[in-house]
Amino acid sequence: ETGVTQTPRHLVMGMTNKKSLKCEQHLGHNAMYWYKQSAKKPLELMFVYNFKEQTENNSVPSRFSPECPNSSHLFLHLHTLQPEDSALYLCASSQGGTSGGTQYFGPGTRLLVL
């Protein structure tokens, strides 16, 4: 399997639930990203990991908790979310470095919070 994969593709959860999104890349990249895409709004960068170290955290609420156990896997743990957190969550990877490199995106997880 190649590219960037994300599971699950769709998720419905209540505000009291705890769930996790998973991302896996098979491209040998060293940087991985979580993005949020809400309707009618630009993509928002949430977290960046480079060589498993978090390098960016764009003021994301603590109800979103990332985890990067190795350079191929990235998780986004969700707890006590709000309905406004409903969105498409996209994972991406790149070769990194100061130029960032071309990013390769996964298919996304469409999340609905009830």
**Contact footprint for another protein (CB under 8 A):** 31, 33, 37, 40-45, 48, 50, 55-56, 88, 90, 92, 98-105, 107-108, 110
Burial grade of 106 (CB within 10 A; 0-12, 13-18, 19 or more): buried
Output 43 or 79, the one with its CB closest to another protein. 43
Output 64 or 89, the one with its CB closest to another protein. 89
Q: Rounded to the nearest whole angstrom, what is the least distance from the CB of residue 16 to another protein in the complex?
A: 27
Cβ count within 10 A of residue 58:
11
Q: Rounded to the nearest whole angstrom, what is the least distance from the CB of residue 88 to another protein in the complex?
A: 5
Q: Rounded to the nearest whole angstrom, what is the least distance from the CB of residue 92 to another protein in the complex?
A: 8
Rounded Cα distance between 28 and 84, Å, is 34
For residue 101 the two structure tokens come to: 């490199």
**DSSP helix/strand/coil, 85:** helix
